[in-house]
A and B are shown apart, each in its own frame.
Chain A
Amino acid sequence: MSAPTQTKPRTIVPFGPQHPVLPEPIHLDLVLEDEKVVDAIPTIGFVHRGLEKLCEKHDFHKMTQVAERVCGICSFMHGMGYCQAIETVMGIEVPARALFLRTFWAELSRVHSHLLWLGLIADAFGFESLFMHSWRVREKILDIIEETSGGRVIFGSCKIGGIRRDVADDILRRIRRELDPIETEFRDIASVFDQDPTAKRRLRGLGALSREDAHALGAVGPTARGSGIDFDARKLGYAAYPQLEFEPVVETAGDCQARCSVRIREIHQSFDLLRQAIDKMPAGAIEVPVKGNPNGEYMSRLEQPRGEVGYYVKGDGKKNLGRFRVRTPTFANIPALIHMLKGCEFADVPVIVLTIDPCISCAER
């Protein structure tokens, strides 16, 4: 690739791995002409733990625990995706109540992750009190998660063949009543993101990603849906989603404001899905016994808060898997991030980096 003729002197400024706005370490070498970013070169690998290779040491049951610990924010869906992949390979049919409870926890996971992101983006453009208010609402969601699954960050609920522990129906009914005041409180926060002039000034028109570019660069999740691509992996029909009614949330503007809007609307959609899941929750068993070892390969796809995630498992009939591969949404969104950074102002770099919702511990495993 040849460089264009330079007219202005260029400076290279390192961004990260330590930066107040980053939840996880990523390094970008920003090539600047004056205050405009011309190019960005990413470097990852600061939290590479080689978790995929642990499948050779731990058997496929214990790998659920490893899969769940790939990331702290999206931990539940990692465990769920892994269990789904193994269950498809082994032909295990998970009972309906377990599928609904998995969906319940998955949507709670999505709400808490998006609220975390809303707090971080508010912090990125300097609105620290809005950050605190978003996380205050998130605390209530984390309390629900802890009450039903036992942990705030690592749920520990999924196992191959179903879920580990049941949630009593009266607790679910009480949670359904508690969701309404939480959603009302969230609506007040969302209105600040939509209406406040400082928020609009810092988000509108920034980090523009056209629909064609999003598709060509392989962007997934709210990053792609903010540019008009209506792909939501929940429509693939896993867990209890075939029985729930929802449509992918899509915006067309393609800028940071659109992506923020997608996530806010997805929180509202998740509250609706939670109510639907509790209303339609069937009674019955929560697990089926698992015998034998996985023999086969499968790529299971889920919709994490950050986008489409793919779990590839390959088993040879032994206790240990041959390969376990996670393709996380942030890994797919990094090329889109590099594209978005070109042409922006230097002071807008933190907001643009955060707008893809970078979960680098997922990206590097």
Chain B
Amino acid sequence: MANWSISKLVARSAVGTPATRRYPFTRREPFAATRGHVRFAEDTCVFCNLCAKVCPTDAIVVNRKEKRWMIDRRKCILCGACTESCRKACLFLENAPAPPMTAAEWERIRIETE
């Protein structure tokens, strides 16, 4: 009957499992391809500065004198341009989301090559 066309959906919702997840007790596993955060492996960097040049939001700054690679996670849009441009395979786009930031600051990583 037309009046009861919603009853199939209602019945399925009433007897089936809920569509929601009981977060934070159960967390959602990200997919393998999910863009979560950019990870920098500091042992192979050669200071070419390509990652900083291709970044659309200028979230990466490479400081050759102080041997530091910095990222501002608030600006990073997880586009993956830096990961594609790095010729020494120092940058990876991981699938886990970055942990929440407790202070508005740059993440500084000391580069340990040479």
Binding site for B on A (CB under 8 A): 58, 61-62, 65-66, 129-130, 133, 136, 139, 143, 146-151, 154, 156, 164-165, 188-189, 191-192, 195-197
Within residues 1 to 36 of chain B, which ones have a CB less than 8 A from any CB in chain A? 2-3, 5-6, 8-10, 13, 19, 31-35
**Can you list the 6 inter-chain pairs with the closest CB atoms, starting with the nearest?**
A150-B35, A62-B56, A195-B2, A147-B31, A195-B5, A65-B56
A-B contact pairs, 13 of them (CB 8 A): A62-B54, A65-B56, A66-B56, A129-B10, A130-B9, A146-B34, A148-B33, A150-B80, A156-B78, A156-B79, A188-B8, A192-B5, A195-B2
With a CB–CB cut-off of 8 A, which chain A residues contact B19? Answer: 136, 139
Chain B count of residues within 8 A CB distance of the other chain: 23
A164 near B31 with CB under 8 A, answer: no
Interface residues of chain B: helix, strand, loop or mixed (majority)? loop
Residue of A nearest to B77 (CB): A65
Bound form: Cα–Cα A156–B77 in Å:
9
Bound form: Cα–Cα A195–B19 in Å:
25
Contact of B56 among A58, A136, A195 (CB under 8 A): A58
A147 near B9 with CB under 8 A, answer: no
Bound form: Cα–Cα A195–B34 in Å:
39
Query: For the complex, is B107 an interface residue (Cβ under 8 Å from A)?
Result: no
B5 near A151 with CB under 8 A, answer: no
Q: Chain B's nearest CB lies how many Å from the CB of A62?
A: 4
With a CB–CB cut-off of 8 A, which chain A residues contact B93? Answer: 150
Bound form: Cα–Cα A176–B51 in Å:
37
Q: Chain A's nearest CB lies how many Å from the CB of B92?
A: 13
Residue of B nearest to A65 (CB): B56
Query: For the complex, is B43 an interface residue (Cβ under 8 Å from A)?
Result: no
With a CB–CB cut-off of 8 A, which chain A residues contact B34? Answer: 146-147, 150-151
Query: For the complex, is B84 an interface residue (Cβ under 8 Å from A)?
Result: yes
With a CB–CB cut-off of 8 A, which chain A residues contact B77? Answer: 65, 154
With a CB–CB cut-off of 8 A, which chain B residues contact A164? Answer: 80, 84
- 17 new A-B pairs (CB below 8 Å) besides A151-B35, A192-B9? A61-B81, A62-B54, A65-B77, A66-B56, A129-B10, A133-B9, A139-B19, A146-B33, A147-B34, A148-B33, A150-B34, A156-B79, A164-B84, A165-B80, A188-B9, A195-B5, A196-B5
With a CB–CB cut-off of 8 A, which chain A residues contact B78? Answer: 150-151, 156
Bound form: Cα–Cα A133–B14 in Å:
12
Bound form: Cα–Cα A136–B34 in Å:
20
With a CB–CB cut-off of 8 A, which chain B residues contact A61? Answer: 54, 81
Q: Chain A's nearest CB lies how many Å from the CB of B54?
A: 8
With a CB–CB cut-off of 8 A, which chain B residues contact A129? Answer: 6, 9-10
Bound form: Cα–Cα A312–B5 in Å:
46
Q: Chain A's nearest CB lies how many Å from the CB of B72?
A: 16
Bound form: Cα–Cα A186–B17 in Å:
18
